[in-house]
Amino acid sequence: MAYVICEPCIGVKDKSCQEVCPVNCIVEGEDQLYIDPSLCIDCSLCVGVCPVSAIYFQEDVPDQWKSYIDKNANFFANK
């Protein structure tokens, strides 16, 4: 399990989440930031600092953004 960054990050990318992540598992991509699910320790610190509420625990990702679970994972799988 991991936290997942969803659509609201696109076009915002202020990187507040990156600054608080204790394991540095949040990486900037072209359109949004991404969380590496193999490194995320589920601390939830990033959730509280995101100004647009883009970050959700994997199981709680709203239905319309479920595809972002794979989008985040694939970003790292293709590295």
Site of interaction with ligand SF4 (CB under 6 A): 3, 5, 9, 12-17, 20-21, 23, 25-26, 33, 35, 40-46, 49-50, 52, 54-55
CB of 63 to ligand SF4, least distance (A): 19
CA nearest neighbour of 71 among 42, 12, 19, 31: 31
Q: Which residues are 28's β-sheet partners?
A: 33
CB of 56 to ligand SF4, least distance (A): 10
Of 25 and 73, nearer to ligand SF4 (C-beta) is 25
Sequence-distant (6+) residues with CB within 8 A of 36 are 2, 25, 26, 27, 72, 76
